[in-house]
Amino acid sequence: MKQIILFFLSLIIVLNSNGQKVQTIRFIYWGDENQPIGTVLISTGKYVKPLDKSNDAVWGVGVKTDTATFNVTKEFLINNKYTTPDSARLKEFRGYYQIIGSDGTDLFLIEPNITPFSKDFKLTLNEKKVDPAVIEVFKYRL
């Protein structure tokens, strides 16, 4: 009987350790820091506090969300017309967002495109009826 109980306890431990991988998308602002803009980090599986920049301890925001919301966000980032994987022109602008995914995605959103990107992104999030916490975090950011 002890062996059966130990077997099931071991099985539970193994299954928990092989659980869902945490996926993340980070929106890191680089530019004028007169108005500190903290990193926004969207994650699945568990809450993760962003610590990409020194001001993230105060201004950074993490949001744990469901996989469906994460996938809507990721799909929008890949298919929108505002972000680019090309970092060559970044020095021409006062500020930009670097968007980094745990899957290796690395995109840039330059300053002239931030407002139209933000408008379309928020519209998409609302239309898809995603996790309200993700909608809320972007209400005053971007």
Decide if 75 is inside a domain.
yes
Structural domain for 114, as ranges: 21-137
Under the banding of pLDDT at 50, 70 and 90, the label for residue 8 is very low
| pTM, 2 dp | 0.82
Decide if 15 is inside a domain.
no
pLDDT tens digits along 109-141: 998 999 999 999 999 999 999 999 998 998 878
Decide if 130 is inside a domain.
yes
Decide if 63 is inside a domain.
yes
Mean pLDDT for all residues in the chain: 86
Decide if 10 is inside a domain.
no
* Alpha-carbon distance values, 61 to 2, 33, 86, 124 (Å): 47, 17, 26, 21
pLDDT tens digits along 79-108: 999 999 999 888 888 889 999 999 999 999
Domain count, the chain: 1
Decide which of 13 and 74 is more confident.
Answer: 74
Q: What is the pLDDT of residue 109?
A: 95
Decide if 95 is inside a domain.
yes
Decide if 99 is inside a domain.
yes
Decide if 106 is inside a domain.
yes
